[in-house]
Structure 1
Amino acid sequence: MGFKPSLLALAVGALSTLNVACATTGDQARDIAQNSIIVDGHIDVPYRVHNQWVDVTQATSDGDFDYPRARKGGLNAPFMSIYVPASLDNSDQSTQLAHQLIDSVEAIVQRAPDKFALAGNAAEVREQFEKGVISLPMGMENGSPIQGKLDNLQIFFDRGIRYITLAHSQSNHISDSSYDLRRKWKGLSPFGKELVREMNNIGMLIDISHVSDDAFYQVVELTKTPVIASHSSLRHFTPGFERNMNDDMLKKLGQNGGIVMINFGSGFVTKEARQWRDGLSKFTNAQIKEYGADSEQVSNAEQTYQQQHPYPYSTLSEVLDHIDYVVNLIGIEHVGIGSDYDGVGDTLPEGLKDVSAFPNLVAGLLERGYSEADIKKILGENFLRVWEQVEQYASQHSKS
């Protein structure tokens, strides 16, 4: 009589095969992460360090980014966000803070030149990747520090700023914000339109994260180069959330040759997390009405609400859904990574809690059938292609 394996033996065999497959995928994912240029379009290290200094050239006990974790994750070209709060708009303090935050990035590099280097163009990112050094390009989040002066644009470009997020949480002198119900300019201001043209001419990337829909459409109409959304996700998954991009905007972005860089924050990824945030706002407002704005109840409102309604963290799979959606709608060439690490607080998805987790993202892409070549596009090559196109336009249209 021939041998007939038991159901238990079959199950054990199947599980063993699955474990081997998972291990193989994990090993491949780590190899890809370590051997690819990973550009993250938006990490808020400078403002984190400004608020409470910590040496990110060493392991840190908090935050989402430091050198050991970046090395573990394979992250080698994180854009340092020079974030200026909207509360400083229309003041000299906004320009002062921007310079101070740039100083802090330069200090990181000076403290550990064997680990980090500034990067002012795509070629430097590629060269430093080959040397095993992490590039720290910079982008300005909120154009407020420009102060309506094109001279300031050139000054910040000379200091290493390579993209500008035109507005942040309020409309400023450049553009309306997606968060601001007062649509002062109905899109871009007259200066904002002039700024777009000059950013094209000097080789500054235009970032349409945070701007209103009208401002986005005006930018893509005016610009001569591809634009980026440095840390945005998709409105398809978060209906009514204007901070994310809708399908028509994505199609325009594709026609422009640009790239949307997916934000990992749970509130950008799922409607459940957005609804939680809306619920917290209603709860807080009710506490203010009942107890007063300076009350202990209001100070503890988020903690109280969280105890009653645990935060619905998104998952790695749901982040991958955003990537899939862009690929299916406008193509693999138009999606990248804009995690918002150190910028979205304790809202990061399971499996993507800090910069060491990029191999998890790669493993998820492999499991969904993406080739290594396509994964490399998503991780960094798509962004570098856009950056190189912006540089090429500027080299042909500079005033010098």
Structure 2
Amino acid sequence: MNRIALLAVSLLALLSDASNAGQVPDAARRLALDATIVDTHIDAPSELIAQWSDLGLATPTREFDYPRAREGGLDVAFMSIYTSADEDDAGKAWQSANTQIDAVEALVGRHPDKFALLRSPRDTERLQRGGKVLLALGMENGAPIGDDLSQLANFHARGVRYITLAHGRNNRISDSATDTAPRWGGLSPFGRQVVKEMNRVGIMVDVSHLSEEAIRQAVELSSVPVIASHSALRHFTPGFQRNLSDENVKAIAARGGVVQVPFGSMFVDAGAAKTYSDFVSAREAYRQAKLAAAAAGQPFTATEPQFPKVAPASMAAVLDNLDRIVQLAGADHAGIGSDFDGVNGALVSELHSVADYPLLVAGLQQRGYKDADIRKILGGNLLRVWGEVERAAKP
């Protein structure tokens, strides 16, 4: 999406946010502002690298900034340190990850009155004083560690508190849900060592993006609960392997873990998921054809597929996913991982930015959730898992 189009979409979203603000019942807004809201997946760092913006100020071209985070009651924002399979192939993932961490640190350094780095759930209340939004780090794709287990301790020292083992393609750690064929039949032998070392140093194991078998193996192998930082349910999107099966939701919950539901339409709506899946397949076919042409020394003139226009689903679809997790596993095992700034604006129609968590709270209240359970879903469950992982670590 070009910058003019993105600005237009963002301005419309801001107008919608203003309109939504008047629709939120006072009880929902009060609860959103009082509860500890933890969003486990916001893609601000890679966006900062691609096009710098000062997120301490109102930034209409983005979905996360400080003013709207405070408006929405966001307390802890996990900044996604995302590296692609292509960066891994090119040997650039480690450099990219560290550069993104630097960008988050620079944001905190520029606005110490607005942001603070969160390295432990025990520090949440203390660091929030003065209205700060706390930034934690989650690494999306384990590629930056390369073949070196000691990098896990190094990234933990830099503040990384969860790692998504793989992303869009298989890597040296795990099979991906969206690669064309499995490579390892789940976790690789190295991946099993990675899970154990993550347990030891105190990094949460994130199973979003993993294949069905890799999720099962990671849950069984981990000595502490695991998370799915931004995954919805395949029950609502049949055939969309990126989402979780009911069986894996139950397995994650049985070991004490939590499933964090994203707000992207392609995760929660069957039609949008099909559109997105077709795009992913076309993009992979393009990549393979380009590699084949290069290997044969032939010119390659095909046009790369562009991210599709996805019809926005309703927030009701997000609530349906949360409902089903609670039905399958209980209210102690559901949470939110929006994927703000990570789905090219393809969000459900009511949740446009970090200002809109009160609307989600209102939806949960309308569905009969008690305030205590809403607090768990908004962040209490994730903080519980994080605390368990931290206490079990043996650095």
TM over 0.5: yes
SS at match of 2:376: helix
SS at match of 2:244: coil
The aligned counterpart of 2:353 is 354
Task: List per-residue Cα deviations over 1:335-371 (Å, max 9, x = no partner).
Answer: 0000000001121011101111100000000111111
SS at match of 1:48: helix
Deviation of residue 193 (structure 1)?
A: 0.3
- Could you tell me how far apart the structure 2 residues matched to 1:58 and 1:74 are? 16
The aligned counterpart of 2:172 is 173
Task: List per-residue Cα deviations over 1:110-164 (Å, max 9, x = no partner).
Answer: 0000000001010122322344211100010000110111211111000000000
1:140–1:163 Cα contact (<8 Å) kept: yes
The aligned counterpart of 1:223 is 222
- Could you tell me how far apart the structure 1 residues matched to 2:23 and 2:315 are? 19
2:344 partner letter:
G
2:63 partner letter:
D
Distance 1:286 1:134, change over 3 A: closer
SS at match of 2:382: helix
SS at match of 1:49: helix
Q: Give the structure with higher Rg (CA).
A: 1
- Pairs within 5 Å for 1:119-158: 119-158=118-157
1:158 partner letter:
A
1:265 partner letter:
G
The aligned counterpart of 1:161 is 160
The aligned counterpart of 1:183 is 182
Identity %: 46
The aligned counterpart of 2:201 is 202
SS at match of 1:182: coil
2:237 partner letter:
T
Task: List per-residue Cα deviations over 1:28-59 (Å, max 9, x = no partner).
Answer: 11111111111001000000000000110101
SS at match of 2:339: coil
- Pairs within 5 Å for 1:11-30: 26-30=25-29
Task: List per-residue Cα deviations over 1:178-197 (Å, max 9, x = no partner).
Answer: 11123111111111101111
SS at match of 1:195: helix
TM-score (norm 1): 0.86
- Could you tell me how far apart the structure 1 residues matched to 2:51 and 2:143 are? 23
Deviation of residue 280 (structure 1)?
A: 5.4
TM-score (norm 2): 0.87
Distance 1:172 1:279, change over 3 A: closer
Deviation of residue 218 (structure 1)?
A: 0.8
Deviation of residue 279 (structure 1)?
A: 5.5
1:84–1:142 Cα contact (<8 Å) kept: yes
- Could you tell me how far apart the structure 2 residues matched to 1:164 and 1:285 are? 24
SS at match of 2:361: helix
Distance 1:197 1:54, change over 3 A: same
The aligned counterpart of 1:63 is 62
- Could you tell me how far apart the structure 2 residues matched to 1:353 and 1:164 are? 26
1:115 partner letter:
K
Deviates more, 1:236-245 or 1:273-282: 273-282
1:344 partner letter:
V
Gaps of 5+ in 1: 1-21
Task: List per-residue Cα deviations over 1:186-243 (Å, max 9, x = no partner).
Answer: 1111111011111111111000001111111111111100000000000000011111
The count of aligned residue pairs is 365
SS at match of 2:273: helix
Deviation of residue 294 (structure 1)?
A: 4.1
Deviation of residue 276 (structure 1)?
A: 2.6
Establish whether residue 338 from structure 1 lines up as the match of residue 337 from structure 2: yes
Deviation of residue 386 (structure 1)?
A: 0.4
- Could you tell me how far apart the structure 1 residues matched to 2:66 and 2:24 are? 25
SS at match of 2:266: helix
Deviation of residue 284 (structure 1)?
A: 8.7
Deviates more, 1:44-53 or 1:271-280: 271-280
1:33 partner letter:
A
- Could you tell me how far apart the structure 2 residues matched to 1:141 and 1:283 are? 23
- Could you tell me how far apart the structure 2 residues matched to 1:325 and 1:224 are? 26
Distance 1:274 1:108, change over 3 A: same
Distance 1:124 1:237, change over 3 A: same
Q: CA RMSD in A?
A: 2.4
The aligned counterpart of 1:375 is 374
- Could you tell me how far apart the structure 2 residues matched to 1:283 and 1:88 are? 20
SS at match of 2:74: coil
- Could you tell me how far apart the structure 2 residues matched to 1:50 and 1:219 are? 31
2:28–2:361 Cα contact (<8 Å) kept: yes
Task: List per-residue Cα deviations over 1:43-89 (Å, max 9, x = no partner).
Answer: 00000000000110101120211111111111110100000111011
Gaps of 5+ in 2: 1-20, 290-298
Distance 1:112 1:294, change over 3 A: same
- Pairs within 5 Å for 1:32-47: 32-47=31-46
- Could you tell me how far apart the structure 1 residues matched to 2:109 and 2:185 are? 43
- Could you tell me how far apart the structure 1 residues matched to 2:284 and 2:263 are? 27
